[in-house]
Each structure stands twice: as structure tokens, then as C-alpha cells.
Amino acid sequence: MHILETQHLCHTYKGNIDALRNISFVAPRNIRIAIIGPNGAGKSTLFKHFNGVLKPTSGKILVRGEQITKENIREVRKTIGLVFQNPDDQIFSPTVEQDVAFGPMNIGLDEESVRHRVNEALKIVGLEEYRTRVPHHLSGGEKKRVAIAGIIAMEPQVLVLDEPTAGLDPQGIREITRFIRNFSDTYGMTVIFSTHSLSLAAELADYIYVMNRGEFVAEGTVSEIFSKPDLLTSVRLDVPVLPKLISSLQNQGVNIEMGYTYDQAEKSFLKAFGKMA
């Protein structure tokens, strides 16, 4: 049984807007999955179905094999933690620590357990020094980390992040990328994230779904997806510059191995230019 699955999921918003068409998606345990797609592809709409914020027009969502009902919605939200794209949609308490404590308190944990979870979550996102700060006075990246801490404090089995790097500066992007990698490696949990950035998908994802106009148009490993540049361009996405360059060199007869991330590409270039065994 998969921890999270959708079967033929469709969602039509008021005004006959078909935001999801026949989405069949599977999330096994302990894997990082990227959902990539252009603006309006349906990524946020899909994520809002994962923990019952939206209900399907037709089709099913199964969490640990069970459909979401009024009776199990609290359990579902403990299992599937969704971090919204805009942290302002999620943060509403007067201090950072109260905000992070909100979820654990709401599920009835005792004071000691709440304190422990808040401390751990703030440590994981590197915000221990911020516990008494006013969330709405924090920077975009800091707010994002508060929102993530609030979800981590619920100890979900699946962490769903809608555009985790949107609006962040390069340092913020590096921090969040490192955090997602370390966090899922350490706790062995499933992470599902959406992005327009194929570089981010290449850095983090074990498996990628490509979405456009409410449908999955491709799925596969990083190398399988990056080997379809025409498809990616047709849905307003693009292969990042390093794999594009390596592919062009290969086409011109240079003996160089493909690399999708900066580290992989650096190794490929060093090897190709005889600087490394």
C-alpha cells in the first residue's frame, strides 16, 4: 500500500475551469518527488487535495489506502503535512514559537511534548534564535522556514512543499535546498515539492512528474525527463544550462558524461579534460 495515491483525480473550479484532469499519482515511502510545470499547470490544486483542503470533482485520493473522510481528516493532516506556497496563508500567531506550537497543541499534545516538538522543529529549520520574533516582521525566506517548522512539528510522514524556493534569494534557495535534502535523508520521509525550476528538481528529486494544463504529460527519473528537451520546451520549461551545454558538446563529438547538477557537471568536465581519473 502506498502512503499517498491519487486515482483518476479531476477537479473543476467554478466557471468550468478544469484544473486537474485524470491525475493518477503514487508516492512511495522515503522518496523525493518533484512536480514540475508552468504557471497554472495545476500543481497547487493537486497539493490541496493531498490533505483534504480541496475535494475532488471525481476520482480518488488514498492516504495509506484510505479515502479522506470527515472522520479521518485529522489523522490525514497528521500524516500529510502541506506547506503552502505563500507563508502568509499559514502563519497567524503573534510569535514564531506560538505559531510552530499551534498544530501540536491543536492535536491535544501535553505541554512538555509541544515544547519538545517546537524546539526540534526550530532547530531543524535553523530558527532557534527567532522564537520570540513577530512572524509578520520576518523576511520572506524566514517566514517560509517558520511555515515549514509549523508543519514539521506535526511530525508528518509526507512533507508536501508548494514552490519551496519561490521568492527566495540565491542564499535562501541554497539553504532550503540543503534543508530538504538533509531533512529527508535524516528522517527517511517522503517529500513532494512543486517547482518551475528544473535545476531544483535535478538537485533533489528521485522522481519527476511533469504537469501541464491539469494533466501529467511525462514522468520518470531525472535523466529520463531531461532527455526530453522538446517536451519540456513545449510546456514552457527548459533544461538547465549545464546539461544543455554537455548535451551540445556530446553532439559535437566530445567524450563527456552527462551531469544534471553543478557537482555532477563539474566531475564530468574534470574527467573529460583529464583532470580526474
Ligand X SMILES: Nc1ncnc2c1ncn2[C@@H]1O[C@H](COP(=O)(O)OP(=O)(O)OP(=O)(O)O)[C@@H](O)[C@H]1O
- Site residues (vs ligand X, CB under 6 A): 13, 17, 19, 37, 39-45
Q: Residue 138 Cβ, how far from ligand X at the closest point, in Å?
A: 22
Q: Residue 166 Cβ, how far from ligand X at the closest point, in Å?
A: 8
Full strand arrangement of the beta sheet holding 58-63: 17-27, 4-13, 58-63, 66-67
Q: Residue 276 Cβ, how far from ligand X at the closest point, in Å?
A: 39
Q: Residue 28 Cβ, how far from ligand X at the closest point, in Å?
A: 23
Write out the E strands in 75-125.
Answer: 80-83
Name the pairing type of β-strands 215-220 and 207-212. Answer: antiparallel
Choice between 17 and 254, CB closer to ligand X: 17
Q: State how far the Cα of 26 lies from the Cα of 6, in Å rounded to an integer.
A: 7
Q: State how far the Cα of 202 lies from the Cα of 159, in Å rounded to an integer.
A: 18
Q: State how far the Cα of 261 lies from the Cα of 114, in Å rounded to an integer.
A: 39
The DSSP 8-state label assigned to residue 130 in this structure reads G
Residue appearing with cell numbers 466557471: 15
Q: Residue 160 Cβ, how far from ligand X at the closest point, in Å?
A: 12
Q: State how far the Cα of 125 lies from the Cα of 147, in Å rounded to an integer.
A: 10
Choice between 62 and 235, CB closer to ligand X: 235
Choice between 47 and 130, CB closer to ligand X: 47
Q: State how far the Cα of 268 lies from the Cα of 102, in Å rounded to an integer.
A: 47
Task: Name the β-bridge partners of 70.
Answer: none
Choice between 57 and 106, CB closer to ligand X: 57
Choice between 17 and 107, CB closer to ligand X: 17
Choice between 39 and 171, CB closer to ligand X: 39
Residue type, 116: H
Q: Residue 162 Cβ, how far from ligand X at the closest point, in Å?
A: 7
